[in-house]
Amino acid sequence: MSGKRFPFSAVVGQRAMKLALVANAINPKIGGVLIRGQKGTAKSTAARGLAALLPPLEVVDGCRFGCAPEDSTQRCPECERRGYPVPAYTRPPAFVELPIGATEDRVIGTLDIERILADGQRHFEPGLLARANRGLLYVDEVNLLPDHLVDTLLDAAAMGVNTVERDGVSFTHPAAFVLVGTMNPEEGDLRPQLLDRFGLAVDADGLPSTVDRAEVVRRRIAFEQDPEGFVRAWSSAEAAESARIRSAQAVLAAVRVPDVILDLIARICTAFEVDGLRADIVTYKTAATLAAYAGRQEVTPEDVRQAAELALPHRRRRQPFDQPGLDHQQLNDIMDEFGREDPPDAPPPRDPPPPPPPDRDDRPPPPPSGSPPAIVQAPTSQTFDIAEMADPHLPVAAPTHQTTGPTDMHSRRRASMVLAPRGRHVRSVASPTGTVDVLATLRASALSASQHIRKADLRYKLRMAPVGTLTVFAVDASGSMAAHRRMALAKGAVMRLLLRSYQTREEVALLAFRGAAADVLLPPTSSVHLASSRLRSLPTGGRTPLALALRTATRLLQHAGRRHATRSQRLVLISDGRANVPMIAGGDAFADALAEAQQLKNSGIPSVLIDTEDGPVRLHRAAALARKLGATYLRLANS
């Protein structure tokens, strides 16, 4: 294809996502936007389309960091040494995509090896953060990036500078960019600490309307058949949006936020019990930006409402399994109460602001027509009774690679590390462990006073990665556990263990057995939010194929162990132990279960068994099964 990007204005619906992107384009100090949604919801399309709307930049000629000639507060060290005025030219803002496999050196920069070999002097080689300065940095699947890289991106986005201290180099350069991250929650979540540091977060939901879905297909096919013609047809809408962004940037510094509006922001953030003050600050900045976008120089309560809907949902999630989003009724009540209060003495009335141009979401040009703003209600979260049991000590099977720390899962800081082909570069060693460390090799060669690099001079990068853990939850969903209260307690126990998995960044899998089948409802994943949703809809009833469940769990764990040798493993079995489906017709179902339990124990995979048996007649088979497994044995309270 021609390389044309799908026009931002032609994206159907997704008003909240588009508004958050535009707000960050107007005011990068908001701190970026995280777009969450399932595949096929125009996340990447909208992010790429935004770059075409950013106003052109005046750049110092020859500057590797894209410094502005007139801005003395954001100059790189090289531009500080220049004599001013300097030659400049105009170019579009950079649009930089950060690939999932990018190394830390590629992101933040490193030494220029070519210059070192040429003149023996240390020179800094800029990375992707330098290229993104004054532009847009786009990270697809940001939740799959290593946490230390996400930390680096967010630090640079918040401070507007990138500081490199490594390999004998100390260098600081401007790195003011619009950070746009996209992710599919089914593939894992960001840590809450990282999630909070994104200025805004929106959910890109699917389009329920058949009319909208048909329009999406119509526009996409038209774009693929004639990209240049499609872009040309939307050029007027794109130009109008770009002009509106430039106008908002020009008026932003003059926007006034009255004290009464600041009180409203503080009242909303307090009512929603968000942690820290970042939410208040981001809501303030976003409300001012939205006022500028509407052509006004004073923030209104409606600006605050819209800002709260963009800045608070990802900050008020109190538990990992609570659905993100705001209670819109609560927000409405706060706004209504604010509107009923006597206003303070108001300044003289201003001229009415110009009406904003119509929304161009839902009709092809010319002329595009608008659609009313839509507020997506957060789904309600179904809860289960949490089992009143002691926090269990969960053993794990150690990984096959050498670790640098304990594997005690009861420890708060479990961050054991293993040698890995990818991960953080911790030091350089002489033994071959992976890729050659060029700088360390040159240093060793120089110290040996050799004119050539010898084999003995080679140094290799030692990389360490955190030890991962896979927990397979095998849940008995048969009729022997069909009583509502017992199933609720069992689900509560699993939810508590999932919570621990979330906090320690582990992977989980979910297996349910009933009738004659043991089904893997959720393959290994770090998205415990998805695991909990699958658990909530778990069907019950039928017989108990316990032996088949143990065999399936064993195979699942062994297969995962072969694919990820650095990951430790464990099984959590929720059952009353009353097996009644043998592996072969006419066999002994419980004897088969004991045999499979012995196989699992022989494989070296530790396990936890949570006994759900209750009632006046108890067979205590779960306890016998736990002994055969060598498992940690627990009982649900009141069972």
Beta strand 567-575 with 607-611: parallel, antiparallel or unpaired?
parallel
> CA dist 437 to 152, 434, 458, Å?
22, 9, 8
HSE, CB side, 13 Å, CA atoms: give it for residue 619.
Answer: 12
Q: Two tokens at 298?
A: 């004073």
What backbone torsions phi and psi does residue 293 show, to the nearest 5 degrees? -65, -30
CA distances for 508 relative to 190, 466, 528, 537, angstroms: 15, 16, 7, 17
Say which of 219, 278, 486, 551 is annotated catalytic: 278
Lookup: tokens for 303: 């600006």
HEC-encoded secondary structure of 288-350: HHHHHHCCCCECCHHHHHHHHHHHCCCCCCCCCCCCCCCCHHHHHHHHHHHHHCCCCCCCCCC
Count Cβ atoms below 10 Å from residue 513 Cβ, excluding itself: 28
Write the CB contacts of 197 (distance below 8 Å, at least 6 apart in sequence). Answer: 31, 154, 158, 278
8 Å CB contact between 97 and 145: no
Sign of CA dihedral 11, 17, 18, 19: positive
Taking CB atoms within 8 Å and a gap of at least 24, the contacts of 363-366 are: 364/10, 364/215, 364/218, 364/219, 364/233, 365/233, 365/234, 365/236, 365/237, 366/236
Token pair in block for residue 31: 């701190």
CA nearest neighbour of 361 among 32, 141, 49: 49
| Helix (H) / strand (E) containing 179 | strand 178-183
Tokens found for residue 441: 């090799």
Instruction: Provide the β-strand partners of residue 57.
Output: 91
Q: Is the peptide bond before 466 cis (omega within 30 degrees of 0)?
A: no
Assign 3-class secondary structure to 220-237.
HHHHHHCHHHHHHHCHHH
Residue 278 annotated in active site: yes
C-alpha distances (whole Å) from 397 to each of 248, 504, 600 are 57, 16, 12
CB 470 within 8 A of CB 506: yes
Which residues 6+ apart lie within 8 Å of 465 measured at CB?
Answer: 417, 418, 420, 422, 423, 424, 566
User: For residue 447, which amino acid is it?
Assistant: L
Query: CB burial class (10 A; 0-12, 13-18, 19+) of residue 377?
Result: exposed
Q: Helix (H, G, I), strand (E, B), or coil: what is residue 444?
A: helix
Largest CA distance in the chain: 93
Residues written for the chain:
639
Q: Which amino acid is at 295?
A: G
The sign of the CA dihedral 65, 70, 72, 78 is positive
Q: How far apart, in whole angstroms, are the C-alpha atoms of residue 1 and residue 23?
A: 30
**Which positions ≥6 away from 506 have C-beta within 8 Å?**
468, 469, 470, 471, 500, 526
Those residues whose C-beta lies under 8 Å from the C-beta of residue 383, and which sit 6 or more positions away, are none
Closest of 66, 73, 72 to residue 96, by C-alpha = 66
Name the H helices within 29-72: 43-51
Catalytic residues, by residue number, are 278
